[in-house]
Structure formats: C-alpha cells, structure tokens
Structure 1
Amino acid sequence: MSTSAFPGLNLAITTPFDLSGQVDFGRFEALIERYLAAGVDGFVFSSGTGMHVYLTPEESRCVIERGARVVSGRAKVIAQASALLTADVVARTQFAKDAGADGVMVLPPFFEGPSDDESIFDFYAEVAKVGLPIIGYNVPQAVGVRITPDLLRKLCELPEFRAVKDSSGDLISQVRLIATGLDVINGADPLVPFSLFAGCSGLIWGGANIAPRTCVAITKAAKEKRWDDVRAIGRQLEPLMSLLWEGDYVQHVYAAAHVTGYGCGSARKPFGSISSDRIAALRQALGGLVEQEAL
C-alpha cells in the first residue's frame, strides 16, 4: 500500500443500538476499545455500515464527537459527512473538524443530483473550504455518479481532496483508478486481497467489524508484501465477504458481529431481522473465524 493520509484498515464501525432502538453509547465506547486492541488503523464514524442515513443529525454528531474523544489520537478518525444539501455537508464537515476528526468521507451529490464533472468538482470545492482532508466516495450503483480516473485527477487538484473510496465492486475500474497514482481506498469487501495486490492505498471495511483480528492480519501481510499469506487469509475471509456482498449488507454485518463476539444490537428500522436460513448461512460462511477471533 502506498503512502497515504489514511493507510491500513479503517473500520467502518457499526453504531450499536439497545433494545429500544436508541444508540447504545456505552457499548459503542467498549467496541472502540476492543477494535483498537485488535489493531485497526482508523475508524469511520457514522459510516454506511454505522447506519449514517438512519441516524438523526444529532445522533450522528454525538457518534462522531464521542468516537473521536475515545480514540484520542490512537487511530485515525474519519467522519461521514454526506447529506443532500451542500450547506449541510459543509456544516457536518466543520463539526467533524471541530470534534478532532482527521478527515471526512463525502458522497458526491446524490438522489437525482448533478452527474457532470464540473458540478461534482464545484461541490467538493465548497466542502474543501472547511480545510479538512476529504475522502470522496465512488459507489455508482447506489448514487448514480461514477468517479472516473479523469474526474479523480481533477478532484485531487483540490489540496483537501486526498483519496477516493471505491465501493463499486468493479476491480477493473478500481485498477484504472489506482493507475492514476492517486490514493484509492478499497471499500468492496470481496475485493480486499486483489485490491491490496493492485496497490490500493488503504481500506475502509465494514465487514471488519465481524473479524477485526483477521482483517488486520491480511492488511499487515500486504504491507509486508507477504502475498502468500494475503492469499491464505483471503481464502478464509472469502465466504463471509462474498455473502455480505450478496445483499442486506448492514443486517448481515450486525448479525455476524454478534456471532463473533462483537455484538452491536440489531440494525435500526426500517431494517428488519434476517431469516434463520440466513443466520445459518452466516455461521457456515464464518467457519473458523469465530474461534480465531476469540483467541
């Protein structure tokens, strides 16, 4: 992995909920400590896996503020600052800066927003005025906007635009982004070993909530160029990561994290519980990871 502002494994941490559906901050702080002990390099607070769009603005602020306070410089802190209105994104970014975050992750304009490169550049230029490092977010299947190599080059003319997280799941497109020589952070769980070999500058990984020690191990192996170990660990992780990518990602992460001892409650409504058949499939996909994470 190349030199980067956000290298290694940045955990898109879940937001725990109690039985009444409220954010469980006690459990949240305990989980942060456990993930730090496992060796993660950074956290993304109010991430997609952390149910960003299903948190109130106040809840999101509390998650970011308390998360940054608990981490207290022991890892990088990235705050999701995405919103529909540009002014809201700017305000969220300013809050993240004031809370001590090292950077923000920001979707391009979405929900029938503009898709031309000039408008997207202007949007990120507004956010950049806050003066906090920005990670763009390439997830065209959800947003309808694709960050191409040419657009990435243009965005990186902004000193604050430091990297793009690629969650497209398209390895060929990701390799083309990496070929620009700019920082590309993989955000597609099943692609992790391939992205590491291709030269991604880091990972933002929701599935790592489930098996943090194993996910740290594959990241460390890649950093040390132990590619046989990367392949071996990748084979361990593949059944789980591929299952997550089939759909209902957030619910499956919450359910599987409970199985491996990193319980965070149930995903908040409108998400429902996953079926007993899917729980059984999760347990099968986890295989030896349950015992490995308990060591």
Structure 2
Amino acid sequence: MTAFPFAGVNLAITTPFDAQGKIDFARFEHLLEVYIAAGVQGFVLSSGTGMHVYLSKDESKELIAFGAKVIAGRARIIAQASALLVDEVVERTRHARDCGADGVMVLPPFFEGPTDDQGIIDFYTSVAAAGLPVIGYNVPQAVGVEITPALFRQLSQIPNFVSVKDSSGDLAAQASLMRTGLPTMNGADPLVPYALYAGAAGLIWGGANLAPKTCVALVKAASEHRWDDAREIWKALEPVMSLIWQGDYVQSVYAGAEIMGYGAGHPRRPLARLAADKVDALRVALAPLSEEMR
C-alpha cells in the first residue's frame, strides 16, 4: 500500500451545516483538526457523504479551497469534481489543482450520459488533461455505469488516471478489479477488512467520520499484517458499518457522528434528519466504540 499515493484512510468528510442550512466553516475547520489529530491520512472534500450533490458549484469550490487552506499539507486532499457537464468537471478539477489538492474523484458520465466504454474513456481523458491524478468512481447501482476490469485497464492507459474507487458493495466484483493488478480503492464500508486483505490499495471511507481513531487503528493493523488485531478491531466497527450501509447512508453518518462527538449538524434538504428509531439503533451499534470518545 505504501507506493500508492492515496493509501490508508481517506475520510469522505461530512460537510457541516448551521441551523439555516449554510455551510458552517468554523465547525468544518474544527472537524478537520480533530480528524487530523486522530491520524486520518487523507480527506475527500465535497464528498458524497459531504453532500456534494446538494452543494452548488460555488459552494463546493469554496469548501475545497477552505479545507485545503486548513489542512495545509498535513494530509492528502482528494476533491470530488463530479458534475453533469464535462467542461464543468474540468473547471472543478483545475480549481482543485490550484487549491493544492492531490487528486480528484470523479463519477463517470451519469443521467443519460454515454454508457459505452469509448464514451467513458473520452470523458476521463478530458478530465485527466486538467492536470491532477484522477480516481474513477464505480457505483453502478447509483449511476448505471459499471467500470469493469476491461474498462479499468483501458482507463489506466490515460495519463493521470490512477485508480478506481469501488462502491458497488460487491466484494467479488471488487476483487475482479484488483486482479487487474491496478490500484483499486474500496468505498464500501462493510467490506473494509476483507478489501484490505484482498489487496485494496486504499480506502475512501465515509463511516470513518464516526470513529476515526478506531478506523485508523484497523488500517494500521492490516498494513502491518496483524490480522488477528485487525479482526478484533473490526468486531467493534462491524455492527455500525453494516447498519449505515443498509439505507439512509448520509443521514446515518451525520446522526452517528453527532452521537460520537464529531457532529456536523443535520444533512441539507431534501435529506431529512434520521428517524428517531434509527437513531436508537445507531446508538446500540455504536456502543462497542465508546472508547473512541475518550
């Protein structure tokens, strides 16, 4: 994992909102400092967990610029640059580059975009020309486009295309991407230890908002091949990582982070705060992680 520039935990950090639904930059700075102190090695700014789709282009760019200034080289920065228009993706990528980001994460064309391999290759070729390492994003259940092993091999020929984050939730499908020998990143929370054992190059992890110290400890144990230790750490993490993956993911991460003392306010509309019974279930699942709060 050490040769890959985005190894370890890359936290898909929540975007804090105030009572009026505006980005709370003071709280965002506080969270970044707390997560850096916890040992987080990289951040995905304007992540899906951070409600990228519900931020305006200007808000996303301001968030990335602010976050990069706070981080100031103390951790890696991946900026999500996904958008419907390729020219906008290129614009966002250039902005991230100018802010000092180390890479961008970009969904393939979605919402009636091209689904043929060549169309996707052309899209990522345009993005990669903007001058930052590009991480593709495989989440076929959400966008209707699958990055297959064959497509991954073709994409890897594009200068600056460095990896694919797989959030399919299908370990067998992720393993098939790994078998290409190309750096594959896991983005499915319940698969973390299995993906690490199978050879994932790095993690983009939204659930790590809830328990960053424990998540960092798990990855450290795995990187040192201390699999018995990793298994014990995972026993505490597994209940909540499986629960949040079952539905209402973003709302669950926001609610769970609040419970654990890493609060970012409530999700922005149209997402509602998590239902009370689900919050109760989260509290139960988080109980084994009580040491995280000390």
TM-score by length of structure 2 reads 0.99
Alignment-derived partner of residue 239 in structure 1: 239
Equivalent-residue separation in structure 1 for 2:84 and 2:167 (angstroms): 19
Write the letter of the residue equivalent to 2:25. Answer: F
Write the letter of the residue equivalent to 1:68. Answer: A
Question: How far is the alpha carbon of 1:159 from its aligned partner?
Answer: 2.0
Alignment-derived partner of residue 94 in structure 2: 94
Alignment-derived partner of residue 119 in structure 1: 119
What SS class does the counterpart of residue 165 from structure 2 fall into? strand
What SS class does the counterpart of residue 53 from structure 1 fall into? helix
Q: 1:162-185 CA distances to partner (integer Å, 9 max, x unpaired)?
A: 010000000000001011111101
Could you list the runs of 5+ residues in structure 1 that have no partner in the other structure? Answer: none
Equivalent-residue separation in structure 2 for 1:137 and 1:118 (angstroms): 16
Name which of structure 1's ranges 257-266 and 227-236 shifts more when overlaid on structure 2.
Answer: 227-236
What SS class does the counterpart of residue 241 from structure 1 fall into? helix
What SS class does the counterpart of residue 131 from structure 1 fall into? coil
Equivalent-residue separation in structure 2 for 1:187 and 1:141 (angstroms): 13
What SS class does the counterpart of residue 194 from structure 1 fall into? helix
Alignment-derived partner of residue 267 in structure 2: 267
What SS class does the counterpart of residue 164 from structure 1 fall into? strand
Alignment-derived partner of residue 103 in structure 2: 103
Question: How far is the alpha carbon of 1:288 from its aligned partner?
Answer: 2.2
Once superposed, what is the RMSD of the aligned Cα atoms?
A: 0.7
User: Contact 1:79–1:101 at 8 Å: present in 2 too?
Assistant: yes
Equivalent-residue separation in structure 1 for 2:117 and 2:234 (angstroms): 36
Question: How far is the alpha carbon of 1:49 from its aligned partner?
Answer: 0.3
Alignment-derived partner of residue 78 in structure 2: 78
Could you list the runs of 5+ residues in structure 2 that have no partner in the other structure? Answer: none
User: Contact 1:5–1:162 at 8 Å: present in 2 too?
Assistant: no
What SS class does the counterpart of residue 288 from structure 1 fall into? helix
Mapping 1:176-255, distance limit 5 Å: 176-255=176-255
Mapping 1:24-103, distance limit 5 Å: 24-103=24-103
Write the letter of the residue equivalent to 1:270. Answer: P
Write the letter of the residue equivalent to 2:225. Answer: K
Equivalent-residue separation in structure 1 for 2:281 and 2:124 (angstroms): 41
What SS class does the counterpart of residue 43 from structure 2 fall into? strand
Q: 1:123-178 CA distances to partner (integer Å, 9 max, x unpaired)?
A: 00001111110000000000100001111111010120001000000000000101
What SS class does the counterpart of residue 243 from structure 1 fall into? helix
* Runs of 4+ that moved beyond 3 A: none
Equivalent-residue separation in structure 2 for 1:3 and 1:192 (angstroms): 19
1:292 aligns with 2:294: no
Equivalent-residue separation in structure 2 for 1:201 and 1:85 (angstroms): 29
Write the letter of the residue equivalent to 1:293. Answer: E
Q: 1:227-262 CA distances to partner (integer Å, 9 max, x unpaired)?
A: 111111111111101111111100000000000000
Question: How far is the alpha carbon of 1:2 from its aligned partner?
Answer: 5.6
Equivalent-residue separation in structure 1 for 2:149 and 2:2 (angstroms): 18
Write the letter of the residue equivalent to 1:14. Answer: T
What SS class does the counterpart of residue 287 from structure 1 fall into? helix
Q: 1:5-48 CA distances to partner (integer Å, 9 max, x unpaired)?
A: 20100000000000111000000001000000000110000000
Write the letter of the residue equivalent to 1:148. Answer: T
Equivalent-residue separation in structure 2 for 1:273 and 1:182 (angstroms): 39
Question: How far is the alpha carbon of 1:3 from its aligned partner?
Answer: 2.3
TM-score by length of structure 1 reads 0.98
